Amino acid sequence: MKPSPFTYHAPTTTAELTELLGTLDDVRIIAGGQSLMPMMNFRFVQPGHLIDLNTVGGLAYVDVQRDFIEIGASTRQRFLQRSQDIAKHMPIVGEALSHVGHRQTRARGTIGGSLCHFDPSAELVNMAALHDAVLTLTSVDGDRSISFGEFGLGFLTTSVQPNEFLRSVRLARWPEGHGYGFEEFAMRHGDFAICAVSCLMTLDDRGAIDRLAVAVSGVSETPVRLTEMEGRLRGTMPDAGTATDLAAAAGDIEAMSDAYITSDYRSHLARVITRRAFTKATERADQRVRA
């Protein structure tokens, strides 16, 4: 299959880019193209105009700040996977990226492209939910920042307006040496996850949970943070009973069905994988406390 005819645009500045977005209709933006090009080739998507971000400078970077790490939307996934800053401050991101496609696709795919495509099974979408991401959208009118909860509206649907593009994403930093765990289940390595769960944790001097974050994706149309359980479990010991309670909360998420996977199976996976991610995060956090 070949894509339907379109007009290609290659702006070199954000001013040119926002001008195009503000004046053209029926536009799609391409960065890595790992999701968009197959959809265009199968004619699921037939834009009249295609705007290339690869010619726009200043959109690929990693900036470490005290409370967050800001990542330019055009930053390649492979770059993030190999970044020493990411490995030091957000090791779970590198762990999750090892499940994204294959080396060749990670070499082209970008963090912004993955977030804007907003497949609920995508690992970087899970990471954004886990780290309370704040996203900066840019148009001719300037920048606006929105939380990740405002960004994702549903399956393959975001709140990005036709005249906007995603400029950057900020991921909240956790204390050095925090516990972390990422687990997913897919039919084959590199496939989108049927279910993925990530967990961040810090423990106090007694070994009790001081802070906890858990994100479950692939089960419903958007990633789900288990915020109620995160608060309820603070101050408790991270034992088998705690893991069971957290797994039950993951299993209670209203799961979707499709032609291949039933909602019951997704719920089962959510329970099993949540326990695994929590256990891994506990072990790593416990090592820090013991040290």
pTM: 0.95
Kindly state whether residue 1 falls inside one of the protein's structural domains: no
State pLDDT tens for residues 146-188. Answer: 999 999 999 999 999 999 999 999 999 999 989 999 999 998 8
Report the largest interatomic distance among the alpha carbons of the chain, rounded to a whole angstrom.
64
CATH number, domain of 28, equals: 3.30.43.10
Contact in structure between 166 and 160 (CB atoms under 8 Å): yes
How many domains would you assign to the chain? Answer: 3
**What percentage of the chain carries pLDDT values higher than 70?**
98
Domain that holds residue 259: 179-290
The yes-or-no verdict on residue 31 having pLDDT over 60 is: yes
168/183 same-domain check: no
pLDDT of residue 74: 97
239/259 same-domain check: yes
pLDDT of residue 191: 83
State pLDDT tens for residues 186-218. Answer: 988 878 899 999 999 999 999 999 999 999 999
Separation between Cα atoms, residue 277 and residue 266, nearest integer Å: 16
* Residue 159, token pair as written in the block: 């709140």
Q: What Rg, from alpha-carbon coordinates, does the chain have?
A: 19
CATH number, domain of 81, equals: 3.30.465.10
- Note the helical H segments in the chain: 14-23, 36-41, 77-82, 84-89, 91-97, 103-108, 111-117, 123-130, 148-151, 227-232, 240-251, 263-290
Kindly state whether residue 2 falls inside one of the protein's structural domains: no
105/201 same-domain check: no
**What percentage of the chain carries pLDDT values higher than 90?**
90
pLDDT of residue 189: 84
**Of 145, 172, 199, which closes a domain?**
172
Band of residue 290 on the pLDDT scale cut at 50, 70, 90: low
State pLDDT tens for residues 61-78. Answer: 999 999 999 999 999 999
Separation between Cα atoms, residue 54 and residue 134, nearest integer Å: 23
pLDDT of residue 288: 62
**Of 154, 172, 190, which closes a domain?**
172
156/256 same-domain check: no
CATH number, domain of 277, equals: 3.30.390.50
99/44 same-domain check: no
Separation between Cα atoms, residue 111 and residue 60, nearest integer Å: 10
Kindly state whether residue 132 falls inside one of the protein's structural domains: yes
Kindly state whether residue 235 falls inside one of the protein's structural domains: yes
